[in-house]
Amino acid sequence: MGRSYSWVIPQITKKHVASTADSGLTEIPRHVWTVTWVVVFGAFIAALDSSLVNVGLNSIGSDLAASLTSVQWVASAYLLALGAALPASAWLGRRLGTGRLWMWSLAGFVVASVLCAVSPNLTVLVIARILQGVTGGLLVPAGQSVIGQIAGPSRLGRVMSTAGLAVVVAPAIGPTLGGLLIDSLSWRWLFLINLPIGLIALVLGFRFLPLEGGARTPLDVRGLALLGVGIPALSYGIIEAGAPGGGHTAQVIASLAVGVAAIVGYVLSSRRSAEPILSLTLFKNRVYAAAGVAVFFTGAGLFGGVIILPLYFQVLRGHSVMDTGLLLLSFGAGTALTMRTSGKLTDRYGGGIVATAGLALSAVTMLPFVFMPADANMVLVQVILFLRGIGMGLAGMPLMSAAFATAPKRLLSHATAEINILQRVAGALGSAIFVAILSENGTPGIDAFHTTFLWLTLTSVAGTGIAAWVALEGRRAGAASRSVA
């Protein structure tokens, strides 16, 4: 391609190459790292946006004279639009090329961020958030597809774990950064901050990403319609079912019924489609199927913990939003410091065995919260959160890498979309269930938190068993391939 990458990524030294070879891992070319770090920019602003906006909902409502119930749609509209866009990412990736889709999605996300920042009222803001959700829903799987195509299965763990740093770091710093922006400037800067980061990413993407065009492929209109309705309807029903008093309303029941019916309808119709919007044949691979189940379970526990731990500090221990963000940095630090190591371990031993160890550690570190008093020593709490972060760093991306590594190159965009859908729906389900458990008897006290932490622990235990299943299926697949060779 005639491009120089030396100004973005440091030179790979001979010592590094030797150590990589000695460890039995395939060397990763410099241009692969370059593309990975460019994609990280896009993943970072998408992950940062959600955590920033959640912090600013009260300020947005006050400035735009909107009730808390109404302003919640600033968050909900984004999530529902993201879910609706995910099924289209595979087809658009094939039609435009994954690199071009990433560029267009990032550009749309930046434009939508500016529209959010200048919104004169809540209606315009919600519409702009829908545009943000659509482009964000395309951006993440497109970036993963770009990485997967240039890295190859033998390098996927290390490369995906590096890309995953953005997903870890952004939510960790989001509450603190959001509090600073609101206190020093205004809520509009929660969106304007995406502009400089996005423009840098666009320049780098135009310079370094593979921007080859796609191919003409038929659009499964019926499948897109079914999933485009089913996933947001199911997610909305799950979210609202977890709200106080929302579990048995006609609106929630109807939303859940529509979501389930549409998804079942897609499963049935996809069998008759020559080019389904998402290929479910990937689940015939036992490793992929096991990894998908594990991602679902891990997503429920991870997103549930992301909701419950801030409430632990704010509701039970009385800390402010900004203080809570600072107290949760230990969790983010543990995850971030482990990601690179987890990638190397994944490429060497397989994602299943790495995730099994990580989820086991997550279960062990969540168990003390089941018994700790409300005024537990904060140093101890921070140590436990740091260790839990290490566990989640060993669990999340290795499972996704295990799934992506099984997908043929032509179906990689399908795999990234499907795994992201499983993770998003699981996140909505986990958040709803654990919030419902916590708030079952009104304002939660120490007993309610103990019960919720117990269920979070049991979720991690179950996830450990499912991750072990992934490891077992991976070992069987490896033995079968060796016997054929």
Q: Encode pLDDT of 273-289 as tens digits.
A: 778 888 888 888 888 89
Are 288 and 395 members of one domain? yes
Identity of residue 391: G
Are 349 and 205 members of one domain? no
pLDDT on residue 442: 65
pLDDT on residue 22: 39
Is residue 16, in this structure, part of any structural domain at all?
no
Is residue 3, in this structure, part of any structural domain at all?
no
Flag whether pLDDT at 216 surpasses 90: no
For residues 41 and 54, the model is more confident at 41
Are 292 and 383 members of one domain? yes
Are 199 and 319 members of one domain? no
Q: Which residue range(s) make up the domain with 298? A: 278-479
pLDDT on residue 248: 63
Are 202 and 292 members of one domain? no
Are 188 and 337 members of one domain? no
Q: Encode pLDDT of 59-84 as tens digits.
A: 788 788 876 667 777 877 887 888 88
Flag whether pLDDT at 481 surpasses 70: no
Q: Do the beta carbons of residue 461 and residue 300 sit within 8 Å? A: no
Is residue 243, in this structure, part of any structural domain at all?
no
Helices (H), 185-220: 189-192, 194-208
Is residue 221, in this structure, part of any structural domain at all?
no
Is residue 230, in this structure, part of any structural domain at all?
no
3-class SS shares of the chain: helix, strand, coil, % to 5: 80, 0, 20
Is residue 12, in this structure, part of any structural domain at all?
no
Flag whether pLDDT at 185 surpasses 90: no
Q: Encode pLDDT of 220-254 as tens digits.
A: 888 888 988 888 888 888 777 766 555 567 788 88
Task: Band the pLDDT of 470: cuts 50, 70, 90.
Answer: confident
Residue 279 dihedral angles phi and psi, to the nearest 5°? -85, 115
Q: Which two tokens stand for residue 353?
A: 């065995």
Cα-Cα-Cα-Cα dihedral sign, residues 332, 337, 341, 343: positive
Flag whether pLDDT at 14 surpasses 50: no
pLDDT on residue 20: 44
The span from the CA of 271 to the CA of 279, in Å, is: 9
Task: Identify the domain boundary among 179, 198, 215.
Answer: 215
Task: Identify the domain boundary among 215, 240, 266.
Answer: 215
Q: Do the beta carbons of residue 61 and residue 182 sit within 8 Å? A: no
pLDDT on residue 128: 92
Identity of residue 368: P
Task: Please state whether 279 falls in left (phi above 0), alpha (psi between -120 and 50) or beta.
Answer: beta
pLDDT on residue 127: 92
Q: Encode pLDDT of 393-445 as tens digits.
A: 888 788 888 888 888 888 888 888 888 888 888 877 877 788 778 877 666 78
pLDDT on residue 383: 94
Task: Band the pLDDT of 482: cuts 50, 70, 90.
Answer: low
Q: Which residue has the tokens 């666009």?
A: 202
* Highest mean pLDDT (candidates 156-160, 255-259, 297-301, 425-429): 255-259
Flag whether pLDDT at 19 surpasses 80: no
pLDDT on residue 274: 77
Flag whether pLDDT at 466 surpasses 60: yes
What is the domain-level CATH number for residue 179?
1.20.1250.20
Task: Band the pLDDT of 141: cuts 50, 70, 90.
Answer: confident
Flag whether pLDDT at 5 surpasses 50: no
Are 181 and 323 members of one domain? no
Is residue 159, in this structure, part of any structural domain at all?
yes
Flag whether pLDDT at 9 surpasses 70: no
Are 194 and 328 members of one domain? no
Q: Encode pLDDT of 101-134 as tens digits.
A: 999 999 999 999 999 999 988 889 989 999 998 9
Is residue 63, in this structure, part of any structural domain at all?
yes
Task: Band the pLDDT of 272: cuts 50, 70, 90.
Answer: confident
Q: Encode pLDDT of 358-375 as tens digits.
A: 999 999 999 999 999 988
Task: Identify the domain boundary among 215, 236, 261.
Answer: 215
For residues 301 and 457, the model is more confident at 457
pLDDT on residue 360: 92
Counted domains in the chain: 2
Are 323 and 396 members of one domain? yes
The span from the CA of 27 to the CA of 19, in Å, is: 10
Are 211 and 317 members of one domain? no
The span from the CA of 394 to the CA of 397, in Å, is: 7
Percent of residues, the chain, with pLDDT higher than 90? 12
Flag whether pLDDT at 478 surpasses 70: no
pLDDT on residue 341: 84
Flag whether pLDDT at 7 surpasses 70: no
pTM: 0.79
